[in-house]
Chain A
């Protein structure tokens, strides 16, 4: 009974659309009557549409809206929602910049889950997962994703998807898959099972680019979003993950999407909004980095953390997260590399206290007891009420002469 209810809720959540994220990436690789690199249809009409009215409750679309309203009520109570007015206001300002007149109809919920994903329900409920926010380099990249989601909303793709699902066995297959969570690839497979059609994704890409350029963003950043994600997906999906879908085993090239995005963006310049984005995420970045480490997919995380460290080599939080990931993976030269990262982090302003603890544990493991004691003392000094203080004091007692 409980399990059935959980599956039902999972399915409803998925109707909200595991859209941008691995799902979108993989869904785009599905076979289609359209060639992969086909130019998008004109999308100006959707941009100039008047605000969407609530459909009649006795229509299938009205029923879908009602379901999504209930899901949104549940989401508002969820412990996974990040309740930070400043962050919500920032995301809302980007949505409004993109959506124009539709701004009052869209509600953005930040969901604390360390995976690249965003979705848009037909009733205007948008979800952005923290794993996606951690992976964006700037505001223009986030606008790419939000614009894409708004594209689905404006063209009411969810309704078409619902009608399509009713006539397919994919729904049962999807329910059977739910629960297989872990790597980006697995989540992508789940998302792909219930994703928008390839044609919808292409149209949402086109509309998203138009929206972000109308708002003054650099459209070239759109392709970078997918380039970055692809590097992570290749860890478990193999080098040619972009050429095939695990669900459909088809082989159209991902490169066509990238080139289509670049072609749509053209030469028009725009804002990247890097500093504004960094400032807006600063209060949460360390938490999200720690969530990434706790995902336990160390190889994938290191691809991300290497990229973040290249962009911000003096970011103590990133160095701590990479050092911690290497320390926990502990294969080959990981311990030595972890020591380098954690030592560098410990010398930077704004170092998380936990970096000293991890450094102490590494020194202790390597037999450098004086260095371990110094690091443990730094940790306890910075965080005397830490949950693991008793254990660290126990270590200190063990290694004290």
Chain B
């Protein structure tokens, strides 16, 4: 376990301005979404603005990730695309953006776009109404064929809107072995989610 964590830290530190910290106990995402952690998770901490979600992992972000979006306001994006030079008369690519009044299926479609943004193939699976963080929500399953290396991933997500703001979580891991092994740990965290 120690060497795996060391390798994860080294990989992240060598590839960008990021560090990994161990998360345990009660955690608060964006000051609004509270979760309780039974198993230890690794959290990616990036310098500067970073992504609008918090990313945790068990075995490394190339293998699995548990993401949390908390208190996303209308007009905010769910993803920060790599910056590209945008000169006069040009426009940046469109990025999945939360809008007020989105229906459950539109919310799910946002996450479909998040995972397809790098050219990966995303296939939606079962969608069902559930409760998440104490709110009426939708749970969605999806499969991802990752463009960068062709690895087949399995994913599950929960999304709710509370007081006009989006709260969500997704868990993704390789379909073979990893997803089945790690999903209970992710679900255990998500089950404790509450909005404050």
**Interface bits B1-17 vs A (CB < 8 Å: 1, else 0):** 00000010001000100
Contact A236 B147 (CB under 8 A): no
Q: Size range of the interface on A?
A: 35 or more
Q: How far, in angstroms, from A79 to B121 measured CA to CA in the complex?
A: 9
Indicate with 1 or 0, residue by residue over A105-128, a CB within 8 angstroms of chain B CB atoms.
000000011010000000000000
Q: Tell me which residues across on chain A come within 8 A of B128, comparing CB atoms.
A: 390-391, 394
Q: Chain B binding site: helix, strand, loop or mixed by DSSP?
A: loop
Asked if B116 and A296 sit within 8 Å, CB to CB, the answer is yes
Q: Known A2-B11, A180-B82, A330-B99; judge A236-B150 contact (CB<8 A).
A: no
* Residue among B95, B118, B125 making CB contact with A387, cutoff 8 Å: B125
> In the complex where A2-B62, A246-B85, A390-B128 touch, is A77 in contact with B150 (Cβ < 8 A)?
yes
Chain B residues with Cβ below 8 Å from A113 are 119, 147
A297 touches B105 (CB 8 A): no
Residues of B within 8 A of A387 (CB): 124-127, 141
B60 & A2 in contact (Cβ 8 Å cutoff): yes
Residue B88 CB within 8 A of the other chain: yes
> Number of B interface residues, CB 8 Å?
48
Chain A residues, CB < 8 A from B116: 294-296
Closest residue of chain A to B85 (Cβ to Cβ) is A246
Which of A80, A294, A390 contacts B147 (CB under 8 A)?
A: A80
Cβ contact within 8 Å between B93 and A183? yes
Pick from A74, A238, A296, A365: contact of B96, CB below 8 A: A296
CB of B90 within 8 A of CB of A236, answer: yes
* Complex: A79 Cα to B120 Cα, angstroms: 10
Residue-by-residue, is A69-93 near B (CB-CB < 8 Å gives 1, otherwise 0)? 0000010011110000000000000
A1-27 toward B: CB 8 Å interface, digit per residue (1/0)?
111001001100000000000000000
Task: Report how far A298 CA is from B96 CA in the complex, Å.
Answer: 10
A391 with B84: CB separation less than 8 A: no
- B148 interface residue per 8 A CB criterion: yes
Known: A2-B11, A3-B11, A236-B91. A181 touches B119 (CB 8 A): yes
Instruction: Check if A240 sits within 8 Å of B145, measured CB to CB.
Output: no
Contact of A388 among B82, B117, B119, B124 (CB under 8 A): B124
- The answer to whether A294 touches B112, judged by C-beta atoms less than 8 angstroms apart, is yes
Nearest Cβ on chain A to B178's Cβ, whole angstroms: 14
B149 at the interface (CB under 8 A from A): yes
Q: Measured between alpha carbons, how far is A299 from B94 in the docked complex, in Å?
A: 8
Determine whether A377 belongs to the interface, using a CB cutoff of 8 Å to chain B. no
- Which residues does chain A contribute within 8 Å of B15, judged by CB atoms? 3
Is B182 an interface residue when CB atoms closer than 8 A count as contact? no
A121 to B126, CA, bound (A): 40
- The docked-state distance in angstroms from the alpha carbon of A247 to that of B2 is 44
The answer to the question of B129 belonging to the interface, with a C-beta cut-off of 8 Å to chain A, is: yes
Give the nearest-CB partner of A13 in chain B. B148
Name B residues whose Cβ lies closer than 8 Å to a Cβ of A.
Answer: 7, 11, 15, 60, 62, 81-82, 84-85, 87-96, 99, 101, 103-106, 109, 112-113, 116-119, 121-122, 124-129, 138, 141, 145, 147-150, 152
Q: Told that A182-B93, A296-B94 touch, could you supply 10 new A-B pairs with CB distance under 8 A?
A: A3-B62, A79-B150, A113-B119, A180-B82, A181-B117, A296-B117, A361-B106, A387-B125, A390-B129, A394-B129
Supply 23 A–B pairs (Cβ within 8 Å), ascending by A.
Answer: A1-B7, A80-B150, A115-B119, A179-B148, A180-B81, A180-B82, A182-B117, A182-B118, A183-B93, A185-B90, A236-B91, A236-B92, A237-B90, A294-B112, A296-B94, A296-B96, A296-B113, A330-B99, A365-B103, A387-B124, A387-B125, A388-B126, A391-B127
A: which residues have CB within 8 A of B? 1-3, 6, 9-10, 74, 77-80, 112-113, 115, 179-183, 185-186, 189, 235-241, 246, 291, 294-299, 328, 330, 357, 361, 364-365, 387-388, 390-391, 394
